[in-house]
């Protein structure tokens, strides 16, 4: 697949996932775990329905086990992130929850023995710095919120594992076959957590249906599924870096649809982040299938 096509797909995925915070703003009465559950359940149901009309090649038993595990990790990612939002500032949760590429680049280098172009590492550093600048006004590193910060960072770790496992699974498994199961398992994981936390996920208003549907379709079926598609052709760290641009797009959408002011530091940090992402995507080292991935 050409670099230009991959970049286009990653940009489309970024635009799609960036709508999630906008849609969530219209669901103030729902618990975070409930929103995450319905997001996964809607996406999984849609893909199962779609693939029922277009039969797919089933995955191997080995990949089935890996996908079940990836689904649990994805559910834990959402649980940790939304839990972090309850215990720390939105700024801290956003910054620490987008650190997945830090974990993936470490795992790829140390455990998978993959080398990196210096420009890609420089682009990753720029993207992280930009993300921190975007949230400068709300960041805190003193006593308050340490547990929440830790949960947000843990959510990045779970997402890193999801992408690394997806790279391996996707080499001989179709995107839709993988995605429909991973979303379903993630939804099941979140449902179990909701039961443990005594949250009734079936309590919501009729007006919530539209936004839950939009959350399931746009940022998940389109956004996350495109990430699962592209991870077959490029390294997980490149894919994991793309969500660093989410606060930039989300701020722009909030300015358009919610008339929210965009702070100067968001504009500056956003520009730096987008420059970093451009460097990363333009310096891809080739398809992930060129590298040994039997470790996972």
Question: Is 189 a residue whose pLDDT tops 90?
Answer: yes
Confidence (pLDDT) at 273: 86
Question: Is 143 a residue whose pLDDT tops 80?
Answer: no
Q: Mean of the pLDDT values across residues 195-214?
A: 90
Rg (the chain; Cα; Å): 18
Write out pLDDT tens, residues 235-257: 998 899 888 887 778 778 878 88
3 state SS of 132: helix
CA dist., res. 59 & res. 65, Å (int):
10
133 contacts 269 by C-beta, under 8 angstroms:
yes
Share of the chain above pLDDT 70, in %: 90
CA dist., res. 157 & res. 97, Å (int):
9
Question: Is 171 a residue whose pLDDT tops 70?
Answer: yes
Confidence (pLDDT) at 252: 81
Specify the higher pLDDT residue, 245 or 228: 228
Confidence (pLDDT) at 295: 30
CA dist., res. 289 & res. 93, Å (int):
33
CA 125 and chain centroid, separation: 19
CA 49 and chain centroid, separation: 23
Write out pLDDT tens, residues 85-139: 777 766 677 778 888 998 998 999 898 888 878 888 898 889 888 877 876 665 5
CA dist., res. 248 & res. 250, Å (int):
6
């Amino acid at each position: 697949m050409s670099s230009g096509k991959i970049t286009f797909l990653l940009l489309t995925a970024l635009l799609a996932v960036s709508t999630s915070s906008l849609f969530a703003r219209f669901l103030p009465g729902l618990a975070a775990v409930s929103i995450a559950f319905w997001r996964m359940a809607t996406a999984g149901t849609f893909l199962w329905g779609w693939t029922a009309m277009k039969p797919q090649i089933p995955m191997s038993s080995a990949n089935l086990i890996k996908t079940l595990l990836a689904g649990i990790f994805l559910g834990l990612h959402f649980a940790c992130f939304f839990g972090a939002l309850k215990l720390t500032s939105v700024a801290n949760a956003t910054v620490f929850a987008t650190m997945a590429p830090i974990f993936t680049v470490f795992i790829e280098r140390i455990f998978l023995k993959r080398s990196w172009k210096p420009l890609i590492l420089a682009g990753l550093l720029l993207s992280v710095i930009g993300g921190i600048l975007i949230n400068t006004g709300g960041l805190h590193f003193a006593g308050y919120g340490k547990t929440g910060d830790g949960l947000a960072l843990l959510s990045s770790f779970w997402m890193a594992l999801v992408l690394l496992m997806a790279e391996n699974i996707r080499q001989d498994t179709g995107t839709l076959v993988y995605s429909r199961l991973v979303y379903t398992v993630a939804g099941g994981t979140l449902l179990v957590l909701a039961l443990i936390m005594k949250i009734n996920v079936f309590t919501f208003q009729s007006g919530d249906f539209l936004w839950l549907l939009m959350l399931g379709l746009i940022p998940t079926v389109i956004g996350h599924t495109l990430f699962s598609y592209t991870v077959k052709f490029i390294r997980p760290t490149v894919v994991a870096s793309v969500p660093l641009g989410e606060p930039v797009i989300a701020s722009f959408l909030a300015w358009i649809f919610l008339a929210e002011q965009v702070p100067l530091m968001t504009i500056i940090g956003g520009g730096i982040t987008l420059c970093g992402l451009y460097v990363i995507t333009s310096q891809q080292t080739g398809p992930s299938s060129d590298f040994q991935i039997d470790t996972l």
